[in-house]
Amino acid sequence: MVVGTRRINVLGPVELAIDDVAVPLTKTRERTALALLALNRGRRISKEHLLRAVWGERLPSTVNSQVPIIMYNLRACLAAGKSDVIVSAGGSYTLLDEACDTDLAFAESQIRQARAARSRHTVERAIEAYEAALGTFRGAPLSNVHSHVLGAEAEMLEETRRSAFVELAQLRIDHGLYRDLLDELPAMIAWRPSDEELRGLHMLALYGVGRQADALRVYAETDDLLGRELGTGTSPQLREIHKMMLEECPMPQARTSLAPSLSPAPTPPSSPTVPPSPHDASAPGIVRVVVPRQLPPAPACFVGRDSEAQWLDQVSRSPTARPCVVITGMAGLGKSALAVNWAQRAAADFPDGQLYVDLCRYGSGTPTSGFEALGGLLTSLGVPATLIPHHQQERSALFRSTVAGRRLLLVVDNADDSEQVRPLLPGSSSCLTVVTSRLPLHGLLVDGAAQLRLGHLRTQDAAAVLRTLADRTPDAHRSDEMSGDDEDRADRRAARDDHWDRIATLCGGHPLALRIAAARLRSGESSAEEIVDQLADERQCLRRLQVGNTSLATAFEFSYRRLSRDAAKLFRRFGLLESAEHPEQVASRLMGTDPSQVDMPLTELVDAHLLQPTRRSGTARDYRMHRLLWLYARQRAMAEEPTEQHGPIIARAARRCVAAPHGSLCKEPRGLHV
């Protein structure tokens, strides 16, 4: 059978089409699995992630037998049973890039082309590409899939649609093409009625064609809606647009030349004007003073990190302070918690405002582009949408100009690399930027940024975190603890404290693990003694460090999936060893390669905080893994390394272990079930 052009559509109901003919997908689970694979085309999807997407938190006992059936059916639909369309290896599944097209890939390509055309001032081509991208949406993305995991993906796809539409609308307004928006904007506002940016664009379009009364009516409706439904008034930006219209100010003229084939609509009667400068306090549409307070709430029961907070204090208040600090460390160590907690405490030192932007959004796995982040920052600083440039370089320059001389704090959370952060850095030494990342961001260090490498909590702090959070136990448990005479109560409290200390030790001072354990204690689902037994059992430790949608293994998975092939292989093979301490020489034995060929994978693991250098023995170095990371490495090894290779891998490493003074204990792993 010859299979024609295959296309998976996710920007609406999920569907599969071959040669533009729909292929029925009647089963919800198959649609969900197909959508997940299509959204991650060319990337590996772990079996665990697939299970969460398709079944949620409660997995049926037959789940392991159902996954192969789903994959078989999808392969049959995609390629008449050819197995090379969806590749399964090591407990993961990959939809190959060449297997099919997706409407999402087409839309993203058109948006990139539109932005490139816009930066070249090729307005007609930019509008054409934006319209092609928006025309790909057939309704609400993933509308026939019901999955908590994919719900976040659907929201991001909706935001992609909105962002593309806003960019197109701004482009048209910038070039006087107001009439083209009058039919489209009401439909978008009906979709997102509380979106002030869309309503502001609608006001400008109406005002641009001379319908001032209608534009003012839209403002009144917006003010009434926000007051009734949200209990708030309109934003400063929308109020500035309203003020501009009441004063019958002219529309800002286009910043770039108009394409010859496009004709602008007439502007309202007014005298000619030059484009307003973003720094002209009298310019229409500019908010004169906006003091952003964007920091998210500080985490509850923040304990420890006193020395780190003092270091941040010194850096921020030093007359020779570096304007950028990078807080880096392994997943779940509380980098964001430290940054936000410290920023809340230090807010008074930054009277001109505190800005916050999340660049990676680990919950969705979708990074925020510098272009998008700068748009949000400029809006927060009071720059109207119509004056925000359409090219990243221009946005970055305007951001630096807007914050120049102001005493501002910017928290950039979950950065992925240095290039993602650089466009967001203020040029003024009066501003301080605090960046968090799982990677060391060497590029920023080269630029002069200071670095704070976050480690696990000290033993006393880890115990304090657990005590503070877990002490809020349900009333029934409280009454049990308080019953009996004084001696009995004292014994129970002592036993409880011992169990809490043991849990803190088994979590290795890892804040996320401690918080999950504390949440399980507070819920009353398990006693402290039961949790101690579960965490001490290597076979179920990671599985028990999960509550609701928060899972320690998921936090580790994001870092693991971003490793190169060799680094990922070395990481999981370390998990086959019976110790978390490893001499450097063992790495080449595990990989079956020359020692010189493991330098890069080792460096990558250290940079990702998945491996920690400890001591140096002569010219060699020893490494260790956090216990919980080691258990995750073992889990990945059992899932991805062929069972028949475990023995030879361990045997090779064992020959080096015997000679190493601090060698790993290389034994056959004890039947893990993970």
Residue 655: pLDDT over 70 = no
Is residue 548 a part of any domain in this protein?
no
**Whether 88 and 177 share a structural domain:** no
Residue 617: pLDDT over 60 = no
Residue range of the domain that includes 28: 6-103
Q: Are strands 101-102 and 6-9 parallel, antiparallel or unpaired?
A: parallel
Using an 8 Å Cβ cutoff, are 222 and 198 in contact?
no
Contacts of 263 (CB under 8 A, 6+ apart): none
pLDDT tens digits, residue range 529-565? 899 999 999 889 999 999 888 899 989 998 898 888 8
Domain boundary among 246, 261, 282: 246
How many Å apart are CA 71 and CA 96, to the nearest integer? 14
Is residue 324 a part of any domain in this protein?
yes
Residue 26: pLDDT over 50 = yes
Residue 279: pLDDT over 50 = no
Residue 49: pLDDT over 70 = yes
Angle (deg, nearest 10), helices 28-39 and 148-174:
50
**Number of domains present in the structure of the chain:** 5
Higher-confidence residue: 286 or 149?
Answer: 149
Q: What is the DSSP letter of 259?
A: P
**Whether 511 and 640 share a structural domain:** no
Using an 8 Å Cβ cutoff, are 612 and 623 in contact?
yes
Lowest-confidence pick of 229-238, 412-421, 604-613: 229-238
365 φ/ψ sector (left φ>0, alpha ψ -120 to 50, else beta): left
**Whether 325 and 439 share a structural domain:** yes
Overall average pLDDT of the 173-190 stretch: 88
| Chain mean pLDDT for the chain | 80
Is residue 278 a part of any domain in this protein?
no
* Cα separations in angstroms, 219 against 11, 169, 207, 401, 454: 31, 18, 12, 30, 48
How many Å apart are CA 156 and CA 159, to the nearest integer? 5
**Whether 139 and 233 share a structural domain:** yes
How many Å apart are CA 4 and CA 205, to the nearest integer? 45
pLDDT tens digits, residue range 433-471? 999 999 999 989 988 899 999 999 988 888 888 888 876
Give bridge partners of residue 46 from the DSSP assignment: 92
Q: What is the pLDDT of residue 259?
A: 32
134 alpha carbon, distance to own chain's centre: 24
Domain boundary among 422, 453, 484: 453
* DSSP-assigned states of every residue in 553-565: HHHHHHHHHTS-H
* DSSP-assigned states of every residue in 97-113: GGG-EEHHHHHHHHHHH
Is residue 162 a part of any domain in this protein?
yes
Is residue 290 a part of any domain in this protein?
no
Q: What percent of the chain has pLDDT over 70?
A: 84
Q: What is the DSSP letter of 348?
A: G
**Whether 129 and 227 share a structural domain:** yes
pLDDT tens digits, residue range 246-266? 888 777 543 333 333 333 444
Q: Averaging pLDDT over each range in 145-149, 211-215, 468-472, which range is the top one?
A: 211-215
Q: What is the pLDDT of residue 4?
A: 60
**Helix, strand or coil for residue 623?**
strand
Q: What is the pLDDT of residue 268?
A: 40
Residue with tokens 């379009």: 205
How many Å apart are CA 253 and CA 246, to the nearest integer? 18
**Whether 581 and 619 share a structural domain:** yes
**Whether 512 and 608 share a structural domain:** no
Split at pLDDT 50, 70, 90, the class of 190 is: confident
Q: What is the pLDDT of residue 342?
A: 95
Rg (CA), the chain: 28
Q: Which residues of 464-491 are buried (b: 16+ CB within 10 A; e: fewer)?
A: bbbbebbeebeeeeeeeeeeeeeeeeee
- Count the Cβ atoms, other than its own, within 10 Å of residue 69: 12
Residue 97: pLDDT over 80 = no
**Whether 620 and 499 share a structural domain:** no
**Whether 184 and 233 share a structural domain:** yes
Q: What is the pLDDT of residue 265?
A: 40
Lowest-confidence pick of 71-80, 234-243, 471-480, 602-611: 471-480
Is residue 275 a part of any domain in this protein?
no
Q: What is the pLDDT of residue 632?
A: 94
**Helix, strand or coil for residue 40?**
coil
Using an 8 Å Cβ cutoff, are 311 and 452 in contact?
yes
Using an 8 Å Cβ cutoff, are 332 and 512 in contact?
yes
Number of H helices, E strands in the chain: 28, 17
Give bridge partners of residue 616 from the DSSP assignment: 621
**Whether 21 and 155 share a structural domain:** no
Q: What is the pLDDT of residue 493?
A: 76
CATH number of the CATH domain containing 416: 3.40.50.300
In 3-state terms the chain splits into helix, strand, coil percentages (rounded to 5) of 55, 10, 35
Is residue 541 a part of any domain in this protein?
no
pLDDT tens digits, residue range 377-436? 998 888 887 788 888 888 999 999 999 888 999 999 999 888 889 999 998 888 999 999
Is residue 542 a part of any domain in this protein?
no
Q: What is the pLDDT of residue 366?
A: 61
- Overall pTM surpassing 0.75 (yes/no): no
pLDDT tens digits, residue range 302-351? 888 889 999 999 888 876 555 899 999 999 999 999 999 999 999 989 99
Residue 7: pLDDT over 70 = yes
Domain boundary among 206, 221, 246: 246
CATH number of the CATH domain containing 600: 1.10.10.10
**What does residue 510 show for φ and ψ, rounded to 5 degrees?**
-85, 115
**Whether 449 and 313 share a structural domain:** yes
Lowest-confidence pick of 128-132, 165-169, 173-177: 173-177
**Whether 63 and 146 share a structural domain:** no
CATH number of the CATH domain containing 133: 1.25.40.10
Using an 8 Å Cβ cutoff, are 42 and 97 in contact?
yes
55: which 2 tokens?
Answer: 């079944």
Split at pLDDT 50, 70, 90, the class of 365 is: low
